[in-house]
């Protein structure tokens, strides 16, 4: 026979042999033929059965306590899950709120980026304006220096032109006098 058979049979016998509370009375104790006497062997068996049943009951109570403890922990875990799910349900009940929150965050980020871009653009414009002023100032100085040089060159040209004209006029005048005197000079010779 298999071991399982003996386990089941033992369990059935232990259930059948368990003492019922109504059996634990003084009148239920096995009596000896002597007046007021109790049979020792029968009383010992009864006490052994009662002790075994008591041990079984204590073991069963411990087992049930462990089950209750596990179930209590499981209930606590499930309560946490239920609370989390209720929070999710509440959040899903109002999806517009989530959308509004996301929209507000996006708008805030856009405003911040727009402000940053505006500040950077203003900074670039200020730098460009300073650079333009520097370039314009440099160009004015160069223009003024160029105009001053041009004025000096024109004055030098005018002076040179005047000096050359005077020299040419003097040469022409000398040449004209020299030609006339040569002609006079040649003329007497030509008469001969």
Provide the pLDDT for residue 16.
45
Its pTM stands at: 0.33
DSSP per-residue string spanning 3-61 = HHHHHHHHHHHHHHHPPPGGG-SGGGSPBPSSTT-B-HHHHHHHHHHHHHHHHHHHHHH
| 53 contacts: CB under 8 Å, gap ≥ 6 | 18, 19
38 bridge partner residues: 31
pLDDT tens, 158-190?
999 999 999 988 888 887 776 666 656 555 554
Which phi and psi (to 5°) does residue 18 adopt? -65, 150
């Amino acid at each position: 026979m298999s071991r399982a058979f003996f386990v089941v049979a033992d369990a059935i016998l232990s259930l059948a042999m368990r003492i019922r509370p109504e059996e634990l009375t003084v009148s239920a104790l096995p009596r000896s033929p002597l007046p007021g006497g109790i049979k020792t062997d029968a009383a010992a068996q009864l006490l052994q059965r009662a002790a075994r049943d008591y041990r079984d009951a204590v073991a069963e109570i411990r087992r049930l306590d462990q089950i209750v403890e596990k179930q209590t922990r499981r209930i606590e875990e499930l309560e946490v899950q239920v609370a989390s799910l209720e929070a999710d349900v509440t959040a899903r009940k109002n999806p517009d709120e989530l959308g509004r929150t996301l929209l507000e965050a996006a708008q805030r980020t856009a405003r911040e980026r727009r402000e940053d871009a505006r500040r950077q653009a203003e900074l670039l414009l200020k730098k460009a304006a300073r650079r333009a002023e520097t370039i314009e100032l440099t160009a004015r100085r160069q223009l003024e220096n160029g105009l001053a040089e041009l004025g000096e060159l024109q004055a030098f040209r005018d002076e040179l032109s005047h000096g050359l004209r005077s020299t040419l006029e003097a040469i022409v005048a000398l040449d004209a006098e020299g030609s006339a005197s040569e002609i006079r000079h040649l003329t007497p010779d030509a008469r001969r």
